[in-house]
Structure 1
Amino acid sequence: MQPITLLDTLGVALAAANVDTDQLIPARFMKEPRSIGYGQFLLYDIRHDEQGIPDPEFILHRPHADSAEVMVSRRNFGAGSSREAAVYALVDYGFRCVVAPSFGDIFASNAVNNGLLPAVVEEDDTERLLAALGDAPAAIHVDLEKQVLRVAEVEVSFSISPVWRTKLLNGWDDIDMTRQHAETITDFTARYSAQFPWTAAQPPESTLISKG
């Protein structure tokens, strides 16, 4: 995964609470292979009418929105079913960070595992950020090392699990995290095997079958 340290990019405001995973990617699109790009399905039913015609007033259809890498929304973002495809849709569209007062637990975990930063801010700070962004893409600065983000004159802090922060700063997945302890694991294995040799797997003894 691509590490995240600083993001100086465009942000968009999605001023809605309880944006669930079925809104992020409607279930009917999940039969499609990811290779075609799930970004085209992001928030599909919200940003299109019943005939599939794009709503020109929706934030993702505004000029330069396709270059935005940060989305700011309200509480309980990513609630609902545990579909990882909701994260795929955001990542494939180009987002690298979502800012909200709270996230669905499974969504947040899936986000980190796919290199998407779920930045948790206070509700009052969310409203300040939404107001600063307005109804068009605007410049936003995200600093994961310092855990602060800024839009115009509005600067707020955000929280994230220390383990998740480490993974995102380094672009690590769970296997990469485990590899950081390779020496400790090797030392423990050697000591344990020496103390309890009977626990080590032994190759089966070969048996000769005589033919009479």
Structure 2
Amino acid sequence: MSADTSIAGVAAALPIPNLDTDQIMPKQFLRGIDKAGLDRGVLYDLRFDANGAPRSDFVLNQPEYAGCRILVAEQNFGCGSSREHAVWGLVQLGIRAVIAPSFGEIFYSNAMNNGLLLIVVAQLDVDRFMNDVRNPATNRIDIDVARLQVRSRTHLAKFAMSARHRQMFLDGLDLVGASLASVEAIAAFERKHWEEQPWLQSVGAMVRARVC
């Protein structure tokens, strides 16, 4: 991940409530053992017809929304199964942030821990943002993470996020990177733990000796 204080760019409206992870990343794209090619599967049944041809009426297939970086969605976005592939695919597709009134709980954690910024604002704010981005002439949104605010052509909204997630984004860290940033503190805790409770180090060996 790259460290940024803001995300700005083309935004697209997805006015579909309860858009679940099965729709975001259909099961046929979960066969691989790595993350390669997941961008192809994102919103597949909305983006492509039964013959695999792009649907011209779907917003992300329209030239005015090429290079879309931000989605404006409806409530409960990312509900359903816990598949992390949905997050990986959105990031591969170039989506950096999703704005919605609410998100599926597991999807929210997966996204924020993998560098996909999720922003919760009131339904009224979402409606105003959607109204702007539906017009190709005003389809840009700016998200300022340092100031915790989102701005479209005609609307400004504040949002909240945990201090941990905000710092991870500002530092350009996913969950693994954030953990590694604290490796010295983790090692110090481990040393202190064994110094204060040295008898615990041999518990496993003693149990094995008794069993065997």
Q: Could you tell me the TM-score, scaled by structure 1's length?
A: 0.85
8 A Cα contact 2:35 2:88, kept in partner: no
- In structure 1, the partner of 2:99 is 99
More helix by share: 2
Question: In the alignment, is the contact (CA less than 8 A) between 2:19 and 2:78 conserved in 1?
Answer: yes
Kept after mapping to 2: 8 A contact 1:3/1:115: no
- Pairwise mapping of residues 93-172 of structure 1 onto structure 2 (< 5 A)? 93-136=93-136, 138-172=139-173
Cα 1:130–1:167 change in 2 (3 A) is same
Matched with 2:20 is 20
* Farther-moved stretch of structure 1 (64-73 vs 26-35): 26-35
Once residues 82 and 191 of structure 1 are traced to their aligned partners in structure 2, the CA distance between those partners, rounded to angstroms, is 36
Deviation track 1:171-193 (CA, whole Å, cap 9, x = no partner) reads 22334333444444444444444
Whether 1:78 aligns to 2:78 is yes
CA distance in 1: counterparts of 2:128 and 2:145, whole angstroms: 19
Highest CA radius of gyration, 1 or 2? Answer: 1
The aligned amino acid for 1:19 is: L
Distance verdict in 2 for CA 1:88–1:189, change over 3 Å: closer
Unaligned runs of 5+ residues in structure 1 are: 205-212
The number of residues matched between the two structures is 203
The alpha-carbon distance between structure 1 residues 52 and 102, as it changes in their structure 2 partners (threshold 3 A), is same
Partner residue, 1:9: 9
How big is the shift at 1:42? 1.2
- What percent of counterpart residues are identical? 35
Structure 2 gap segments, 5+ residues each: 206-212
TM-score, structure 2 normalization:
0.85
1:81/1:135 Cα in 2 relative to 1: closer, same or farther (>3 Å)? farther
Deviation at 1:71, TM superposition (A): 0.5
